[in-house]
């Protein structure tokens, strides 16, 4: 059986995977482009009907990989 992980870690890893896939696709499409990740403004949205706990949870998951405060 797999190693147990906290839900926050699972969501963070999922967001991190999506981030890496986006960067990879950009690099494939624009081979000569030098991608400076710090110049990318990432936007993660959540449904308006989510309660504050769920919104905060997703914010914390995103902050773990994007390394800055999200609004």
| Residue 52 domain flag | yes
| Residue 51 domain flag | yes
pLDDT digits (tens, 9 = 90+) for 17-45: 999 999 999 999 998 988 888 888 888 89
Mean per-residue pLDDT, 42-69:
88
Residue 47: what pLDDT? 96
| Residue 1 domain flag | no
Cα separation, 47 vs 66, whole angstroms: 20
* pTM of the predicted model over 0.85: no
Residue 66: what pLDDT? 76
Residue 69: what pLDDT? 53
Q: What is the mean pLDDT of the chain?
A: 89
Of 1, 2, 4, 6, which Cα lies nearest the Cα of 61?
Answer: 6
Find the distance separating the first CA and the last CA of the chain, reported in whole Å: 37
Domain count, the chain: 1
| Residue 2 domain flag | no
- Domain of 37, in residue numbers: 7-66
| Residue 26 domain flag | yes
Residue 3: what pLDDT? 87
| Residue 15 domain flag | yes
């Amino acid at each position: 059986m797999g190693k147990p992980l906290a839900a926050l870690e699972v969501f963070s890893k999922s967001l991190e995977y999506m981030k890496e896939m986006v960067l990879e696709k950009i690099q494939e499409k624009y081979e000569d482009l030098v991608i400076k990740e710090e110049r990318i403004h990432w936007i993660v949205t959540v449904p308006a009907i989510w309660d504050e706990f769920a919104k905060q949870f997703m914010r914390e998951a995103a902050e773990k990989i994007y390394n800055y405060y999200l609004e």
